[in-house]
Amino acid sequence: MSDRFADYGRLTKPEIAVPPPGPKAKEVIEREEKVASPAHGRGYPLCVERACGVWVEDPDGNRFLDCTSGIGVVNVGHCHPEVVGALVEQAGKFFHYCGADFYYIQQTLLSERLVEAAPVPDAVPFFTNSGAESTEAAMKLARYHTRRPRFLALRGSFHGRTFGAMSLTSSKAVQRNRFAPLVPEVTHVPNPYCYRCPLRLEYPSCGLACVDAVEEYLNTIAPADEVAAFFAEPIQGEGGYIVPPPEYFPKLKALLDKHGILLVMDEVQAGNGRTGKLFAIEHWGVEPDIVYTAKGLGSGFPIGVMLSRRELNDWEPGAHSNTYGANPMGCMVALKTLELLQGGLVRNAAERGEQLMAGLRELQARHDFIGDVRGKGLMTAVEIVKDPDTKERDPERRNALVKECFRRGLLTYYCGDNSVRFIPPLIITREQIDTVLEIFAEALKAV
């Protein structure tokens, strides 16, 4: 391990030398704003100069404790020396050689490791470059294999921005507004959002009525014989870190199996150890038909993968492909990432996640505007409300909270309409989680 990574690993407190954004960050931001796409919606003025472990530094000498991980990507920590080493070593051999058309051991090694780890029995990997591209691959395979045109997805879901993925997505109107017509035959069904049940019921007396509602859709607007697949995130990410109850996926899977509908799990954000299991669906003890991920798999290198049951793979050569899937540098980075995750970081995510959750629950007891605390492992969020009884959402206070954290050297991020998410690298230590909780407590007092 390089000295720098180890040294940074021992740090416990952020350092704010100049109130961010300082003059150097401001200069970058001003220049960037002149050339940037107006489609970008930057959350707060963080300018990254470099990063190491759980720490991010700006050009003005400020050091932030990162609870965003570059939006759920650097699960092994920024610039993990073993990941950097794997990347550099491969870069010296060859950068690229189109793994869909030719052979190289890097792709085979990663495939073997993923097949071994997958929650899908006898899985076949298909490599992509992003989360959205993985969603597209899963939509295409599901239609190809089942010869059925329709899809079901959950309200509040996020599966990416390309046309197919956007058509499954329903977390915010802005993500769909003015892009219609979308891919047809997608039906969104009520999500298992127990804090705000879309069916106005209470868990557990509801008896999982949201799964029964799926059956109603299959009997009415989305005829079961026409539905290829049901897409779901194990924990809805962009929608607000919504954790389904333990019976949800087993009951849903039984229903889908009855109708020959595939269960597709989008583990782009929840996968790669984030929740304290390598794949989040393992918490529900269900074997999906297709699972896919991206983000944390490449620790920042763009690589994704779809893992599907072998018998679904009846597509002919050339039916689906890409140029950069299984890029050899991405493969070696992902291989090292998986080794680190399975070598202890998944376990740390579970342990530190419990500590974080317990601390956030204590803070909830002191601030009634924290309506809900939820998550698994280090995929954790708090929902901010005006009143715990009415549960009226309070996005203004939520936004202020994220910014108060930033000013104090803690990077958190928004999710849903009114939630703050905490997704630190999985290497985070007990002392560093204590700091997260201390700073969040100060920010709560400030708003």
Give me the least distance between CB of 39 and ligand PLP, in Å please: 13
Give me the least distance between CB of 295 and ligand PLP, in Å please: 6
Structure token digits, residue 175: 């993500």
Nearest CA to 427 out of 302, 337, 359, 303 is that of: 337
Per-residue x/- track, 185-224, ligand PLP (CB under 6 A): ----------------------------------------
Q: In this chain, which residue has its C-beta nearest to ligand PLP?
A: 131
Nearest CA to 136 out of 113, 168, 177 is that of: 168
Rounded to 5 degrees, what are φ and ψ at 286? -115, 140
Find residue 291's DSSP bridge partners: 265, 307
Of 369 and 414, nearer to ligand PLP (C-beta) is 414
Instruction: Report 67-96 residues binding ligand PLP (CB under 6 A).
Output: none
Element (H, E) at 430: helix 430-446
Of 237 and 240, nearer to ligand PLP (C-beta) is 237
Instruction: Count CB neighbours of 399 within 10 A.
Output: 17
Of 135 and 170, nearer to ligand PLP (C-beta) is 135
Structure token digits, residue 333: 């980075």
CA–CA dist 231, 168 (Å, integer) = 8
Of 266 and 394, nearer to ligand PLP (C-beta) is 266
CA–CA dist 16, 131 (Å, integer) = 34
Question: Rounded to whole angstroms, what are the CA distances from 303 to 134, 352, 412?
Answer: 10, 27, 24
Instruction: Report 370-409 residues binding ligand PLP (CB under 6 A).
Output: none
Stretch that binds ligand PLP, among 52-60, 85-93, 240-248, 261-269 (CB under 6 A): 261-269
Give me the least distance between CB of 414 and ligand PLP, in Å please: 12
Under 8 Å between Cβ of 414 and 402: yes
Count of residues touching ligand PLP (by CB under 6 A)? 14
Give me the least distance between CB of 278 and ligand PLP, in Å please: 16
**Cis peptide preceding 21, ω within 30 of 0:** yes
Of 124 and 168, nearer to ligand PLP (C-beta) is 168
Instruction: Report 116-175 residues binding ligand PLP (CB under 6 A).
Output: 130-132, 135, 158-160
Stretch that binds ligand PLP, among 187-195, 247-255, 263-271, 412-420 (CB under 6 A): 263-271
Of 128 and 364, nearer to ligand PLP (C-beta) is 128
Give me the least distance between CB of 185 and ligand PLP, in Å please: 20
* C-alpha torsion sign, points 321, 166, 135, 253: negative
Give me the least distance between CB of 36 and ligand PLP, in Å please: 18
Structure token digits, residue 402: 């994220």
Structure token digits, residue 192: 């298992």
Selected from 119, 190, 237, 353, the binder of ligand PLP by CB under 6 A is 237
End-to-end CA distance of the chain: 40
Q: Does 266 bind ligand PLP (CB under 6 A)?
A: yes
Give me the least distance between CB of 61 and ligand PLP, in Å please: 31
Contacts of 378 (CB under 8 A, 6+ apart): 274, 275, 276, 349, 352, 353, 356, 422, 423, 424, 426, 428
CA–CA dist 346, 120 (Å, integer) = 19
Q: Does 233 bind ligand PLP (CB under 6 A)?
A: yes
Instruction: Count CB neighbours of 57 within 10 A.
Output: 18
Of 243 and 433, nearer to ligand PLP (C-beta) is 243
Give me the least distance between CB of 164 and ligand PLP, in Å please: 11
Q: Does 58 bind ligand PLP (CB under 6 A)?
A: no
Selected from 269, 327, 348, 380, the binder of ligand PLP by CB under 6 A is 269
Class of residue 402 by CB neighbours under 10 A (exposed 0-12, middle 13-18, buried 19+) = buried
Of 65 and 265, nearer to ligand PLP (C-beta) is 265
Stretch that binds ligand PLP, among 265-273, 307-315, 340-348, 395-403 (CB under 6 A): 265-273
Q: Which amino acid is at 353?
A: G
CA–CA dist 3, 314 (Å, integer) = 50
Sites of contact with ligand PLP (CB under 6 A)? 130-132, 135, 158-160, 233, 237-238, 266, 268-269, 294
